Structure 1
C-alpha cells in the first residue's frame, strides 16, 4: 500500500506570514521615499495581485518580486527590492506565529494515525521556507510543495501530482474555497475546510453534518464571492462545499479517525 497523504494549506490555515504587517509596509515606505508619490502604493500592489487572480494566473499572482518590480517601475523607482531578504529578516516572533498554541503537537497527532503530511501552498519557496523553518514546521511536514516548485498553483490538481504519483492523497485541508476546497473536490479527495469563527448553530451539528447546514452554505457562498470579487464566478455547491468543516486543527486531530472513517 502506498503512502497516505494529507495536504495542508499554510497561510491562514497553519501559520501567519510576515507580509501583511511587516514586508509590505517596509516596501511601501521604501517606494514612498524614492518616488514621493501620492498614490496608495499598497493598493497598487494588491490590485495587481487581484488582477492576476481574476485572470486565473494563479502562479504569477504570488510572484511578489515580479509584482513589486512592476509597481516600482511604473512609479519611476530604480532600487532593487530584495523581498526574500525582508522575509528572512521579519521571520521572527511575534511577527510570525502558528495559529494555534499547540499546532505542532496537533499535526504530529495526525501523523500518528498513519498519515504523511505535506504543505501545499501557492506561496513561493523563498518566501515560505524561512517562515516554515523558524516555526518548526519543516520538522513536521514530510513534503513542502510550493507553486513555483510544482510549476502549478492551486486549484490546479497538477500541483499535487508528485504526491499522487507517490501514493494516495486522502484529504486536503485549507481555509479558502477557491484554492483549497475546489482543489480537493476536483481531485476527488476529502475536502476539509477550516473556519475559526463558525456560528453556534453550525457547531451544534455533528461534525459530519455541519457542511449541510444552511448557515454554513451561506458562509461558503459569501466567501466564494469575496475571493472572486473581480470576476463573475458561479457558486456551484458540488465544487464549493467541503465534505467537512472544522474550527481548528486541534479539532481535526481529535476527530480525524471519525472524519476519515
Structure 2
C-alpha cells in the first residue's frame, strides 16, 4: 500500500525552538565578554545565514555550528561555543513550547486515520530532535527530513524527494510563504499555510475560501515582502499562493480525507 504522507514544518508551525531566547543570547553574551565590549553576534550570524541562502547554499545556511566557528575565527577568539550543546542546555520551558494545545491531538488523529507523518525542516537534526523529544513531538513522526540528510533545504523542493519516492504527499503544512508554500507548490503538493493572526472576518471562511480571498491576498503580499524583501508582489506570484489557510492546526483535519 502506498504511503499517504502529510509533512510539517516545525519552527513557527508546531513548536518554538530555543535559539531566540536561549542559544543566540548566550553566544552573544560569551563573545561580548571575551571582547570586553558589546558585540551583536546574533546580527552577524543572521547576516551570514542570509548570505548563504542568497547563494543557494540551503544546507550550509543552517549549519549554525559552522557559522559560529567562522565568526570566532574572524574575531580571533578561542571560545568553546558548541551550538548543539547549547540547544540541549536551553531546551526547557519557557524557552521551548508547543504553539497550540491542539498540536499533539491533531497529529494523533491524523495517525489514527492512517497517514504517515513527516517533519520537513530546515533545522539540522541535531538541533531539532532534542526539542521535539522534550515537547513530546518525536514519537508522532515516521520521518524527520533535514537539510544535511536530504542534501538541500527549503525552498528547494528536492528536500521532499525521498518521501515522494516512498509514497504520495497529500499536504505540506508550514508558516512561511517563501519556504513552505513555495516548496509545496513547486512539488505539486497542496500547500497549507498556518496563519494564526488572521483577521476575524476571514476566520469565518473555510481554509480553501481564505486562500482564495482578495483580502487575504493583500495579507500574503505584505507577509511575503517581510519574509523576502526582494520578492516581487505586484502582481502577486502564483508560486506563493497557498491552497489552504489554517488559523488552528486542528482545521487540517477537515482539509484531508
TM-score interval for Structure 1 and Structure 2 normalised by the shorter chain: over 0.9
User: Aligned partners of 2:71, 2:226: CA distance in 1, in Å?
Assistant: 24
2:238 is aligned to 238
User: Aligned partners of 1:119, 1:46: CA distance in 2, in Å?
Assistant: 23
1:216 is aligned to 216
User: Aligned partners of 2:8, 2:112: CA distance in 1, in Å?
Assistant: 16
Alignment TM-score, normalising by the size of structure 2 = 0.94
Alignment TM-score, normalising by the size of structure 1 = 0.93
Secondary structure of 2:208 counterpart: coil
2:43 is aligned to 43
User: Aligned partners of 2:41, 2:3: CA distance in 1, in Å?
Assistant: 46
Provide runs of 4+ in structure 1 moved above 4 Å.
none
Could you say if the C-alpha distance between residues 2 and 244 of structure 1 is closer, same or farther in structure 2, counting changes exceeding 3 Å?
A: same
User: Aligned partners of 1:70, 1:239: CA distance in 2, in Å?
Assistant: 35
How far 1:223 moved relative to its partner?
A: 1.5
How far 1:18 moved relative to its partner?
A: 0.3
2:52 aligned with 1:52:
yes
Report how many aligned residue pairs link the two structures: 255
1:1-26 Cα offsets, whole Å, 9 max, x none, are: 40000000000100000000001001
Pairwise CA RMSD of aligned residues?
1.4
2:241 aligned with 1:260:
no
1:83 is aligned to 83
User: Aligned partners of 1:14, 1:249: CA distance in 2, in Å?
Assistant: 8
Gaps of 5+ in 2: none
2:15 aligned with 1:19:
no
How far 1:36 moved relative to its partner?
A: 2.1
CA contact (8 A) 2:28 2:39 kept: no
1:210-259 Cα offsets, whole Å, 9 max, x none, are: 11112211111111111112xx2334432001001001112223x2xxx2
2:157 aligned with 1:161:
no
1:172 is aligned to 172
2:249 aligned with 1:249:
yes
2:28 is aligned to 28
User: Aligned partners of 1:92, 1:39: CA distance in 2, in Å?
Assistant: 26
1:112 is aligned to 112
How far 1:113 moved relative to its partner?
A: 2.2
1:112-145 Cα offsets, whole Å, 9 max, x none, are: 2221100000000110111111111111111111
Gaps of 5+ in 1: none
